[in-house]
Amino acid sequence: MIIRQMTNEDLNDLIEIWLAASKEAHHFIPAEYWESKQGDMRDIYLPMAETYLLEETGQIRGFVSLVGEDLAALFIDPSRQNQGCGRALLRYAMDLRDTLKLRVYADNQRALRFYAKNGFERLEETVDPDTEQQEHIMIWSKNKVQRKDNMSVSIFQHIDTVFVPTRNIKSAKEWYTGVLGGRIGWESEQGEYQCILFGQTSLTLFSTEEERYFERRHALFNFFVPNVEDAYRHLRKQNVRVDTILEYGATYFTFYDLDDNCLEVCSY
């Protein structure tokens, strides 16, 4: 696996990856929109950006594009997703910049979780004028990561913000604050609530009736903790539904909330 800078000979492959990944990730936008943007990608966006691609056995698996401090694009071949390619390209970009900003559609929950898990925080909300879709502006700062490394830790160490769907926001707030002992931080105009657990771990609760957010039941969200057994005992004491501690490279267990969302607790 190597990462190198894009050349003009790579354009066709990158546009093919961008189109396939865009259609898959943005199912809430008509496919015709992305197809109509192929010319702009070829003639404007990719040439103006600083673009790096990831190759494996001679095949391009994905690419990342930077324009100043803006992370303008990060796309992985859909057949190669969930194999570490996106994280590798993102880490490469982080090594090149002290600060990165990006825009991600609010309905692209998978991308929101990915960026939050890798240290990005939401800065503001806006609307994309081209698609009229709500989007989040997120930011990552190398200096902030370094400051966090020097902080003392509690039972749960916060290294990523996770977005948790619920069918009943009131009940979810009561469960996360009452049973887990969290506290509510900010509230957005869209009715989202930040819940801070054990001092540092941050959840964003959002209300939805769309079943697609509840389709998966395994390892939806991840917490990384200094002592898995302490976290396990704490949740068992609160009669939270948990699975037995397992060994698989690192010790971990899973627990479930009122909506049957599965959250994984791991050692870091």
Question: 3-state secondary structure string, 194-237?
Answer: EEEECCCEEEEEEECCCHHHHCCCCCCEEEEECCHHHHHHHHHH
Q: Determine the longest span between alpha carbons in the chain, in angstroms.
A: 60
CATH match of 152-267 with 3.40.50.2300 = no
CB neighbours (10 Å) of residue 125?
14
Task: Give the pLDDT band (50/70/90) at residue 144.
Answer: low
| Tens-place pLDDT, residues 248-259 | 444 677 888 888
Q: Does residue 124 have a pLDDT over 80?
A: yes
Q: 222-237, pLDDT tens digit by residue? A: 666 667 788 888 888 8
What mean pLDDT is predicted for residues 42-64?
92
What pLDDT digit, counting tens, does each position of 185-222 carry? 777 766 777 777 755 566 778 888 877 777 654 445 66
What are the start and end residues of each CATH 3.40.630.30 domain in the chain? Answer: 2-144
Mark 161-180 as b/e (b = at least 16 C-beta within 10 Å): bbbbbbeebeebbebbbeeb
| Region label for 152, one of left (φ > 0), alpha (ψ between -120 and 50) or beta (otherwise) | beta
pLDDT of residue 148: 41
Least confident of 96-110, 129-143, 155-169: 155-169
Whole-number Å distance between alpha carbons of 199 and 213: 27
What is residue 243's predicted lDDT score, i.e. its pLDDT?
76
CATH topology of domain 2-144: Aminopeptidase (3.40.630)
Q: What mean pLDDT comes out for the span 25-47?
A: 93
DSSP 182: -
Q: Where in the chain is the domain with CATH 3.10.180.10?
A: 152-267
Query: Which one-letter amino acid corresponds to residue 113?
Result: R
| pLDDT at residue 177, as a whole number | 86
pLDDT higher than threshold 90 for residue 10: yes
For range 118-140, the mean pLDDT: 88
